[in-house]
Amino acid sequence: QVQLQESGPGLVKPSQTLSLTCTVSGGSINSGGYYWSWIRQHPVKGLEWIGYIYHSGSTYYNPSLRSRVTISFDMSKNQFSLRLISVTVADTAVYYCARGSTTVIWFDPWGQGTLVTVSS
Amino acid sequence: QSVLTQPPSASGTPGQRVTISCSGSSSNIGNNDVYWYQQLPEAAPKLLIYKNNQRPSGVPDRFSGYKSGTSASLAISGLRSEDEADYYCAAWDDILTGRVLFGGGTKLAVL
């Protein structure tokens, strides 16, 4: 059974770069047909999709975040990563990684989530 | 504010049937499949319904999804205390280059 686990700093200063890693276990990230996504949840509930990286390495980002986001693979470690530059307090959220199966939006499973706070 | 509109709260008593609505537009629900996610307290969201009305294995048949035009709904019958959670609808939105949209979420209370 595939499991995902997020890791990374819980505190980032404004204007700096947020970097998170999602480690995939129980299956290969190189398996065809999956969209490896990042999703965040702001303190007052709202879920926001950030983007995905497809097994081929192609990426697609939410237009609202496109200028600041990069998602990449580290195949040797069975991981994919999120990089968000020039963060502000509005980027404070719980960040989830998730696997999209069959379609981008079929998120299953999800990681447990990691809280990232942007503060000086 | 979410483009997919859900009521912020809903409630019911054990055994009752409750429905949660999700209203969108022609660029999202009207032209694409709807997914529903359940988020239990202190947990990550979990897929509940896919492609409008399909249940993943392990999801009880008490949960049902419906879609008509630019709206969708989630029905929970035989309400149980463990159904108390936040519920989110989601759909692809075709505007500009496209993106995944989530509803604002509905907090379900089992009284």
DSSP symbols for A44-108: SS-EEEEEEEETTS-EEE-TTTTTTEEEEEEGGGTEEEEEE-S--GGG-EEEEEEEEESSTT-EE
Strand pairing class (B9-12; B106-110): parallel
Residues A48, B111: Cα–Cα separation, whole Å: 30
Q: Compare CB distances from B100 to A49, A111, A112 and report the shortest one's residue.
A: A49
At residue B7 the predicted structure's pLDDT band, cuts being 50, 70 and 90, is: very high
pLDDT tens over chain A, length 120 residues: 999 999 999 999 999 999 999 999 999 998 878 999 999 999 876 899 999 999 889 999 999 999 999 999 999 999 999 999 999 999 999 999 999 987 889 999 999 999 999 999
CA separation, residue A63 to residues A58, B90, B95, B97, B98 (Å): 16, 17, 10, 8, 8
Residues A25, A30: Cα–Cα separation, whole Å: 12
CA nearest neighbour of A62 among B91, B105, B98, B2? B98
Residues A62, B79: Cα–Cα separation, whole Å: 36
**Chain B residues with a Cβ under 8 Å from any Cβ in chain A:** 2, 33, 35, 37, 43-47, 50, 56, 86, 88, 90-92, 96-97, 99-102, 104-105
Mutation site for B-interface testing, chosen from A47, A50, A52, A66 by largest number of B Cβ within 10 Å: A47
Strand pairing class (A34-41; B46-49): unpaired
> pLDDT for B29-55, tens place per residue?
999 999 999 999 999 999 999 999 999
